Chain A
């Protein structure tokens, strides 16, 4: 079976590996302490840590897009901003 059409590159492979590791990590965390630490944050509804990860990742995607559209191609700053955003999400949402 030929899968060369998938056109893998190192950066995208690393990207998906990182996502997969995050999911495994969340799975292990959930297994060790089940329930997902639900609480009601600034968004006024109950979130678990899985929800917070999702909000962080989705937000990070939009931060990167906005950076590309508004500032330029240097995404390291967008990445830094995303990390700050993710920390804020895990702390307050």
Chain B
């Protein structure tokens, strides 16, 4: 399709995403740059790269339990949430994609409104609700609370993928003598594997980036890394270097996840279900 008689605007089109990506990476670069400097260097000299590169900030994080346990806590509840969300969403999405039932459309809309409800509205009663069940400061509490917006999302994404699988496949399987659970696990789930990947990706993403609810429901034992960071900003005389290093470390899990699912992302977006 490409010929050398293209107009100038088209030949320069690569500039647009390039400039955009530079714009995206600059603030991140600045954070990385700071994370390799001593706090005193950050405050005293202004330089585009570390003059005396140091790993001190990272050492602080990896040797202090109050720092690194934050990462373990965050990852624990995010993984729990992703597992719960996808597991309960699978049968529900199947029901929505294959059957009509009493109140189905309203149920679907009600689920979606929870994706759109501001967490700030729920933060306060959440604390009391989870206290009543003795779940405050546990990983499972955050995992269940994040289901509020992740389960509707997972149902929405999975329903989109399942609707793309022809119904004849179900019928053929039943004729061949498959029971429903066996059909679902052996035939259907492999068919929508990429959909499950996309749903899991988005559950991971939204649970990983959320802070308000996670912070409300935890005090010490399950405190997410993001909340540990805010505490440090206000208390310890602003150790900018450590703060930057902690920030850089929160970007890494996300970057890894994107790298592994990069081919599915575009597909998931193509179905228009986010």
- Chains A and B share a contact (CB less than 8 Å): yes
Interface residues of A (CB under 8 A from B): 1-3, 5-6, 26-27, 30-31, 34, 48, 50, 54
Shortest CB distance B106–A (Å):
5
Pair B103/A1 contact, Cβ less than 8 Å: no
Taking the closest CB of chain A, its distance from the CB of B175, in whole angstroms, is 28
Nearest CB of chain B from residue A38's CB, rounded to whole Å: 11
B106 pairs with A50, CB closer than 8 A? yes
Q: Which of A1, A5, A27 contacts B102 (CB 8 A)?
A: A27
Q: Which 5 A-B pairs have the closest CB atoms?
A: A5-B128, A50-B106, A1-B132, A30-B102, A2-B132
CA–CA, A15 and B242, complex, Å = 52
Q: Tally of A-B residue pairs with Cβ under 8 A?
A: 20
Tell me the bound Cα distance from A31 to B132 in angstroms.
37
Contact mask B81-118 → A, CB, 8 Å, 1/0?
Answer: 00000000000000000000011011000000000000
Main DSSP-derived SS at the A contact region: helix
> How many residues does chain B have at the interface if contact means C-beta atoms less than 8 Å apart?
8
Q: Which residues of A contact B133 (CB under 8 A)?
A: 1
Nearest to B134 among chain A residues (CB) is A1
Taking CB atoms and an 8 Å cut-off, the chain B residues in 111-133 that contact chain A are 128, 131-133
Partner of B132, one of A5, A26, A34, A50: A5
Question: In the bound complex, what is the Cα–Cα distance between A48 and B103 (angstroms)?
Answer: 11
Closest CB-CB distance, B208 to chain A, in whole Å? 30
CB distance from B111 to the nearest CB of A (A): 14
Q: Is the CB of A50 within 8 A of B128?
A: no
**20 A–B contacts, CB within 8 A, in A order:** A1-B132, A1-B133, A2-B132, A3-B132, A5-B128, A5-B131, A5-B132, A6-B128, A26-B103, A27-B102, A27-B103, A30-B102, A30-B103, A31-B102, A34-B102, A48-B105, A50-B103, A50-B105, A50-B106, A54-B106
- Complex interface: chain B residues within 8 A of A54 (CB): 106
Please name all residues of chain A whose beta carbon is closer than 8 Å to the beta carbon of B128 when the two chains form the complex.
5-6
State how many angstroms separate the Cβ of A47 from the closest Cβ of chain B: 11
Chain B contacts for A34, CB-based, 8 A = 102
Interface residues of B in 140-170 (CB under 8 A from A): none
Q: How many whole Å from A58's CB to the nearest CB in chain B?
A: 11
Residue of B nearest to A54 (CB): B106
Chain A contacts of B132 at CB under 8 A? Answer: 1-3, 5
In the docked arrangement, what's the CA distance between A30 and B103, Å?
A: 8
Which residues of the other chain, A, contact B131 by a CB distance below 8 angstroms? 5
Q: Which residues of B contact A1 (CB under 8 A)?
A: 132-133
CB neighbours of B106 from chain A (8 A) = 50, 54
Contacts of A2 in B (CB 8 A): 132
Q: How far is the CB of A59 from chain B (nearest CB, A)?
A: 16
| A83: min CB distance to chain B, Å | 22
Q: How far is the CA of A50 from the CA of B104 in the complex (A)?
A: 11
